[in-house]
Chains A and B, each alone.
Chain A
């Protein structure tokens, strides 16, 4: 009888061949466990198709056109500098004295011209004059605040002037079934309270359609690890929708998991299963992306503070400084500096990969509780200081009576840690 290790190796060999497109059988002498695992792998490998040719071509054109434009600009800049230098070499006399005299004269003329343009030689306009020059309704810079039901406390939000929206390459496809969550934004819910929201499905066509399953399956997962927490709606039944009609799926979650236990405070995500639409002889599958995010609050409330830490921790070749913690009712953010950063390291010294690609593993816990995955950080490389700034800005809130916050980086690039920080909160 095979042992489990050999069986695992056999499975991987067959899986690799299967994924390479070979027709693989489990083998006559294979046991049931291995045979069904291989068979199941066949189903799993065909679950999703690759990108459509239209999408591939569109993205390719966009990327390569961007690359060409950037390089042309760079080449033009270099060529422009060469042209200017050559022109100056021809125009200017070779004598250094004459060159200095001409240069001084050119600078003087430029200074006068700039001063003239800025209005230094004219009287400043009055307020009335300024106003009268603006056309009615004309706005110089339009700033539009993005929609959002929740704003983090202490977070500085920057809103940039809007630009003209780019013209889409392909007209958006009209969807036969619109799906809207109500409320649309994140839901903040007190500990132990019921969370309820609606999913409103609208038939946007002029024909009657059948939606099945209705209601679709809906599950709650933890936002941090995306681990299954609770099935809040089983898939089943169907709904017939006349033209422009709507049907609502009301979901209520009592904040318990599948075992009936109250879930821990933190962020959760609602995932909704796909539905099939039928009209006449035609049938379409509609996939519904993740639904609203739900924050389960601490019964005692969350700690709201900014904690300056500036604690260094050196392991191997990297020094990590935990700069500060930002704690709010909606979450927690950890800011660190790692040196050396990306750039030109000493010969044989440590290196971090290019911006946006640093592989970092980190977890955190409160008062020695269960570790939670910190996820992917935001990254900023500072070339001047040769440091990389990493920040985790979407961690769960910390309870108001917490005493100790532990943050551990287990891995930075190829280097193993841990870089551990224990931060007293009192």
Chain B
């Protein structure tokens, strides 16, 4: 029969296995959502990958202290993601030299005809410019909804807005963006 120390060791190993399994499940579910949220907020794949890694590193560091009684995992992880993006924009110019060497490549699929590919790219560019013209809160709502596919309740928990307010602002923002896009298309 194992003694107390052995039991403690077995218990630690079991806890570790459960924690690993739980974190892995969260990772599988939230990586694409967090990645796309950040992708909508920063216009660069490499930066998105870096910031996504940072978010999950932070989440792992604090995972033992995460309590589902206080907040859902989605609220928790997106709060970390949101702060990470804000810190990226606010901190990069003041504390470190700005380098544009982070530019990266989107390789086209090759399945689309060149004309269509070009048209898609132009459309994407226009959308990017229009997105950048939104206020921070509007960008946030668009990223959480279209990037992460969160429901309005989840977005309300993260942003501090009421659920109905999220819906109203989202509809208003999409129409604003649509009008800006149409204007850019005709310009």
Which residues of A does B touch, CB under 8 Å? 7-9, 11-12, 15-16, 19-20, 33, 36-37, 40-41, 43-45, 47-48, 50-51, 55-56, 59-60, 62-64, 66-68, 71-72, 74-75, 78-79, 81-83, 85-86, 146-150, 152, 173, 175-181, 184-186, 199, 217, 219, 221, 223-228, 235, 267, 269, 271-274, 276, 283-293, 330-331, 342, 351, 353-357, 359, 361, 373, 375-376, 394, 411
The reply to whether B62 and A40 form a contact with Cβ atoms under 8 Å apart is no
Query: Which of B101, B108, B146 makes the CB contact (< 8 A) with A178?
Result: B101
The reply to whether B101 and A8 form a contact with Cβ atoms under 8 Å apart is no
Q: What 10 new A-B contacts, CB under 8 Å, besides A186-B98, A342-B65? A: A8-B171, A19-B145, A40-B174, A43-B123, A51-B35, A68-B16, A181-B99, A272-B100, A273-B125, A289-B43
* Interface residue total, chain B, C-beta cutoff 8 A: 102
A290 touching B86 in the complex, CB below 8 Å, given contacts A15-B145, A180-B100, A355-B62:
no
Give B91's nearest chain A residue, CB to CB: A394
Chain A residues whose CB sits within 8 angstroms of the CB of B32 once the complex forms? 50-51, 56
The reply to whether B177 and A287 form a contact with Cβ atoms under 8 Å apart is no
Chain A residues whose CB sits within 8 angstroms of the CB of B104 once the complex forms? 173, 175, 286-287
A59 touching B52 in the complex, CB below 8 Å, given contacts A173-B105, A288-B44:
yes
What CA separation (Å) do A50 and B92 show in the bound complex? 25
What CA separation (Å) do A144 and B40 show in the bound complex? 35
What CA separation (Å) do A87 and B133 show in the bound complex? 69
What CA separation (Å) do A408 and B175 show in the bound complex? 32
Whether B74 is near chain A, meaning CB under 8 Å from some CB there, is no
Chain B residues whose CB sits within 8 angstroms of the CB of A85 once the complex forms? 5
The reply to whether A356 and B12 form a contact with Cβ atoms under 8 Å apart is no
The reply to whether B49 and A51 form a contact with Cβ atoms under 8 Å apart is yes
Within 8 A of A (CB), among B132-169: 132-136, 139, 142, 145-147, 149, 151-152, 158, 160, 167-168
Chain A residues whose CB sits within 8 angstroms of the CB of B6 once the complex forms? 82
A147 touching B103 in the complex, CB below 8 Å, given contacts A71-B16, A225-B135, A225-B136:
no
Chain A residues whose CB sits within 8 angstroms of the CB of B23 once the complex forms? 63-64, 67
The reply to whether A40 and B100 form a contact with Cβ atoms under 8 Å apart is no
What CA separation (Å) do A293 and B94 show in the bound complex? 8
What CA separation (Å) do A292 and B51 show in the bound complex? 19
The reply to whether B128 and A274 form a contact with Cβ atoms under 8 Å apart is yes
A283 touching B108 in the complex, CB below 8 Å, given contacts A75-B13, A223-B89, A225-B136:
yes
Contact flags B80-102 to A (C-beta < 8 A → 1, else 0): 10110011011111111111111
What CA separation (Å) do A246 and B101 show in the bound complex? 14
A291 touching B100 in the complex, CB below 8 Å, given contacts A43-B127, A66-B60:
yes
Whether B70 is near chain A, meaning CB under 8 Å from some CB there, is yes
Which residues of B does A touch, CB under 8 Å? 3-6, 8-9, 12-13, 15-16, 19-20, 23-24, 27, 31-32, 35-36, 39-40, 42-47, 49, 52-53, 56-58, 60-62, 65-67, 70-71, 76, 79-80, 82-83, 86-87, 89-108, 114, 117-118, 121, 123-125, 127-129, 132-136, 139, 142, 145-147, 149, 151-152, 158, 160, 167-168, 170-171, 174-175, 177-178, 181
Chain B residues whose CB sits within 8 angstroms of the CB of A394 once the complex forms? 90-91, 94
Contact sample, A vs B, 24 pairs, CB 8 Å cutoff: A8-B167, A19-B145, A40-B174, A40-B177, A48-B40, A55-B52, A59-B53, A64-B20, A74-B12, A81-B5, A82-B8, A86-B5, A186-B94, A217-B129, A223-B93, A226-B89, A227-B136, A271-B132, A287-B106, A289-B42, A290-B98, A357-B62, A359-B160, A376-B86
Give B61's nearest chain A residue, CB to CB: A356
Interchain nearest-CB distance for B30 vs A (Å):
11
The reply to whether A351 and B100 form a contact with Cβ atoms under 8 Å apart is no
The reply to whether B168 and A175 form a contact with Cβ atoms under 8 Å apart is no
Interchain nearest-CB distance for B145 vs A (Å):
7
Chain A residues whose CB sits within 8 angstroms of the CB of B61 once the complex forms? 356
What CA separation (Å) do A376 and B89 show in the bound complex? 11
What CA separation (Å) do A331 and B61 show in the bound complex? 31
What CA separation (Å) do A8 and B174 show in the bound complex? 11
Interchain nearest-CB distance for B170 vs A (Å):
7
Chain A residues whose CB sits within 8 angstroms of the CB of B170 once the complex forms? 12, 15
Chain B residues whose CB sits within 8 angstroms of the CB of A44 once the complex forms? 127, 142, 146, 174, 177
Chain A residues whose CB sits within 8 angstroms of the CB of B42 once the complex forms? 289-290
A148 touching B97 in the complex, CB below 8 Å, given contacts A60-B24, A63-B56, A354-B62:
yes
What CA separation (Å) do A147 and B31 show in the bound complex? 32
Chain A residues whose CB sits within 8 angstroms of the CB of B19 once the complex forms? 67, 71
Q: Chain B CB within 10 Å — which of A55, A292, A359 has the most?
A: A359
The reply to whether B98 and A184 form a contact with Cβ atoms under 8 Å apart is yes
The reply to whether A228 and B133 form a contact with Cβ atoms under 8 Å apart is yes
Give B93's nearest chain A residue, CB to CB: A293
What CA separation (Å) do A199 and B181 show in the bound complex? 26
Query: Which of B46, B62, B94 makes the CB contact (< 8 A) with A331?
Result: B94
Interchain nearest-CB distance for B103 vs A (Å):
5
Query: Which of A178, A267, A274, A411 makes the CB contact (< 8 A) with B93?
Result: A267
A71 touching B98 in the complex, CB below 8 Å, given contacts A235-B125, A286-B104:
no
A148 touching B96 in the complex, CB below 8 Å, given contacts A12-B152, A180-B101, A223-B89:
yes
A274 touching B125 in the complex, CB below 8 Å, given contacts A15-B145, A284-B106, A353-B76:
yes
What CA separation (Å) do A284 and B108 show in the bound complex? 7
